[in-house]
């Protein structure tokens, strides 16, 4: 079985877009497309809004073959978790009806940016059963969550955990090494390699290099690049 490589990028704003653009170029040189996780309702300074530079860049990347992935609605925490689990990620505990309402709002907000997607990645990669049902109701094809990549029409699951560098703390160097080793190992076994990076992490040279090293390790081991749309990367032609 041929391994598959998925690289996702989140946290795209007007502030982070230049670093995102440079990173996308480095991946494009390797023949690796990006899955761009878009939060359409951003209240942060420099966030994604109609007409903003980051939206124009997202249109360019979509046209170049990258995938637009709906990444939640507003990432608001749901204050209804039990005392055992506390507050949760936006779609981690929602029942079907409420998840559906949030998906409707998010889809409309994405459309206001001139974008659309039938692929979903929940905040923190956590999706409740109600969210999965609501995604099917809204005719989404794919949900990429913490367990793997779900094909919603037939219930198939491509298992693969998310590899990420995480925060800049005492364990950051260790996590970077683990990510590179895990990407190589999964590729050699013909598995699914999912590398996730946040735009803010691109400002940290060791984290950025670790992501590129993980991508290179997967490619050397024979992984085939694709996006969460589950379409392969375009064929590269010799100059």
The residue extents of the domains of the chain are 12-160+194-203
CA 167 to chain centre: 17
Among candidate residues 98, 67, 45, the one with its CA nearest the CA of residue 106: 98
Q: Is 12-160+194-203 a domain of CATH 3.20.20.370?
A: yes
Strand partners, 30: none
Quote the DSSP letter at residue 141. Answer: -
Helix (H, G, I), strand (E, B), or coil: what is residue 148?
strand
pTM exceeds 0.85 for this model: yes
Residue-wise pLDDT tens for the chain (239 aa)?
Answer: 799 999 999 999 999 999 999 999 999 999 999 999 999 876 555 567 788 899 999 999 999 999 999 999 876 554 444 333 445 689 999 999 999 999 999 999 999 999 999 999 999 999 999 999 999 999 999 999 999 999 999 999 999 999 999 888 888 999 999 999 999 999 999 999 999 999 999 999 999 999 999 999 999 999 999 999 986 555 544 43
For the chain, how long is the longest CA-to-CA vector? 60
CA 124 to chain centre: 10
Tokens of 167: 């925060």
């Amino acid at each position: 079985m041929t391994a598959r490589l998925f690289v996702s990028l989140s946290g795209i704003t007007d502030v982070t877009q230049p670093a995102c653009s440079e990173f996308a170029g480095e991946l494009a040189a390797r023949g690796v497309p990006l899955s761009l996780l878009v939060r359409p309702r951003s209240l942060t300074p420099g966030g994604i809004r109609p007409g903003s530079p980051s939206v124009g860049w997202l249109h360019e990347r979509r046209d170049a073959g990258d995938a637009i992935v709906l990444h939640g609605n507003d990432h608001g925490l749901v204050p209804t978790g039990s005392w055992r689990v506390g507050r949760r990620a936006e779609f981690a505990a929602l029942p079907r009806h409420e998840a559906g309402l949030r998906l409707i709002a998010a889809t409309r907000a994405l459309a206001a940016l001139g974008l659309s997607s039938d692929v979903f990645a929940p905040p923190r990669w956590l999706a409740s059963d109600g969210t999965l049902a609501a995604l099917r109701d809204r005719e989404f094809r794919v949900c990429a969550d913490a367990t793997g990549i779900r094909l919603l029409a037939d219930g198939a699951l491509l298992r693969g955990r998310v590899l990420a560098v995480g925060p800049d703390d005492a364990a950051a160097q260790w996590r970077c090494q683990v990510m590179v080793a895990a990407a190589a190992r999964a590729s050699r076994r013909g598995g699914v390699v999912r590398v996730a990076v946040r735009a803010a992490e691109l400002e940290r040279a060791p984290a950025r290099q670790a992501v590129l090293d993980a991508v290179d390790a997967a490619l050397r081991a024979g992984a085939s690049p694709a996006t969460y749309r589950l379409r392969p990367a375009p064929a590269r032609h010799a100059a």
